[in-house]
Amino acid sequence: MKIAFFSAKPYDKTFFNRYNEAYGFELEFWETHLGPHIVNAITPGTEAVCVFVNDKLTGEVIDIMAAKGVKIIALRCAGFNNVDLERAKKQGIRICRVPAYSPEAVAEHAVAMLLTLNRKTHKAYNRVREQNFSLNGLLGFNLYGRTTGVIGTGKIGKAFIKIMLGFGCKVLACDLYEDETLKAEGVQYLSFDEVLNQSDILSLHCPLNAENHYLINESSIVKTKKGVTIINTSRGGLLNTHDVIQALKSGHIAYLGIDVYEQEEQLFFKDLSGSIIANDEIQRLMSFPNVLVTGHQAFFTEEALSQIATITLNSIDHLIKGSAPADPSVLLV
C-alpha cells in the first residue's frame, strides 16, 4: 500500500515516518505541490495521495489520479476548498481530512502574538543582544482588566477565551450560535458592532466564507475603539489589507498581529530570504513597528503534527480495509 505525499516538508516526513511504524505503509514524499504539472508523475501502485492546503485537486487532476488507480485522497488539514469533491465522488475516490488537530495550538499562538505586541518582547530580544538595556520605547499595557472581543467561539475561539479569562480580561463574543458553557463562565454575547465598539483587543476565530469576506474593512474599523489591537490567526481574507494599512497609518489600529494573509499562497511556507518580494502590501505591513506577521504557523506544534499524522494514517487504514473511521466528520466523500 503506497501513499504519495505532496507539498511535503521535512517535518511532514518526520511525523508521518514516526507514526507510520504502526502501519507499515510505503510513503513517497514529493516537495512540489500537486497540480496538473505533476499528476502524471504519480508512480504505479499508489493507492492514496496525501495533500495540504495549497495542492490543487481540480477535476482534471482527479481524473488522471483515478486512471492511475488512486483510491483515497487524504487531506492533512481541515479545509477542503482546493478539492473538486463532486469529481472525486464521480470517480469513486474517497476523501478524508483532519477536522480538528489542536485548537489550543492556534489559540496559544494568538495569545503569543498578543503578548509579543503588548509587551514588545520582540524588540527587547534584539535590544539586549546589542547590550542596550534601556526601556525607552518598550512601554506596554496590562491585559488584566482589558476587554477582549472574540469573533467566532468554536473550538479555537473557545480555547482562546479560556486563556483570556485567566488573564482577568472581560470577554465579549459574537457568533451565529451562543455557547452556554462560555456564558456560564462570564462571556457576554453581543452583536458584531457592539463587540467592535467595546473591545480593546479583537481576535478573529471564524472561518472565511462568502458572507464574511473582508469582515474587517474601512466601515467596520471605524466602529472599533481608537487604539484597538487586532489579532488574526483565522484566514487572511477576513481582513481588507488596504483598509487595515490606512488605519495603522492613522494610528486608529495600535497593534496588529497576523498569522494569515490574503495573498499568503505566493509567500508562506517558502524561504524567500534571497528573493525580491513583489507584494507591496505585505512589505508595507512588515515595515510597521507595531505589526507582527507570522507565516501560518499557529497550528505548528508537536501535538498538532502528531494528531495530523495519526488521524490521517488511521483514516487511510480504515478506508483501505473498507471500514468506517470512528469519527464520521473525517470523511468528506
Contact indicator for 65, 309 with CB cutoff of 8 Å: no
Part in contact with ligand NAI (CB under 6 A); list of ranges 48-56, 120-128, 204-212, 247-255: 204-212
Part in contact with ligand NAI (CB under 6 A); list of ranges 16-24, 162-170, 200-208, 285-293: 200-208
Does 229 bind ligand NAI (CB under 6 A)? Our answer is no
Minimal CB distance residue for ligand NAI: 154
47: annotated active-site residue: no
Taking the complex as a whole, the smallest distance from the CB of residue 206 to ligand NAI amounts, in Å, to: 3
Taking the complex as a whole, the smallest distance from the CB of residue 318 to ligand NAI amounts, in Å, to: 23
> Cα separation of 315 and 317, whole Å?
5
3-state SS assignment for residue 34: coil
180: annotated active-site residue: no
Task: Choose the catalytic residue: 109, 235, 262, 318.
Answer: 235
Helix and strand element counts for the chain (H, E): 12, 12
Taking the complex as a whole, the smallest distance from the CB of residue 244 to ligand NAI amounts, in Å, to: 17
Q: For residue 192, give the DSSP letter.
A: H
Per-residue DSSP letters for 229-255? EEEE-S-GGGB-HHHHHHHHHHTSEEE
Does 241 bind ligand NAI (CB under 6 A)? Our answer is no
* Joined grid coordinates for residue 244: 487595515
Give the nearer residue to ligand NAI in terms of CB position, either 154 or 325. Answer: 154
296: annotated active-site residue: yes
Part in contact with ligand NAI (CB under 6 A); list of ranges 6-14, 218-226, 275-283, 291-299: 291-299
Going from the C-alpha of 16 to that of each of 5, 8, 139, 305, 329, the distances in angstroms are: 10, 10, 44, 9, 21
> Cα separation of 16 and 95, whole Å?
18
Q: How many positions of this chain bind ligand NAI (CB under 6 A)?
A: 26
> Cα separation of 7 and 3, whole Å?
13
Does 257 bind ligand NAI (CB under 6 A)? Our answer is no
Q: For residue 42, give the DSSP letter.
A: P
Active site residues per annotation: 235, 264, 296
Q: Which residues bind ligand NAI (CB under 6 A)?
A: 100, 103, 106, 151-157, 174-177, 205-207, 212, 233-235, 259-260, 296, 298-299
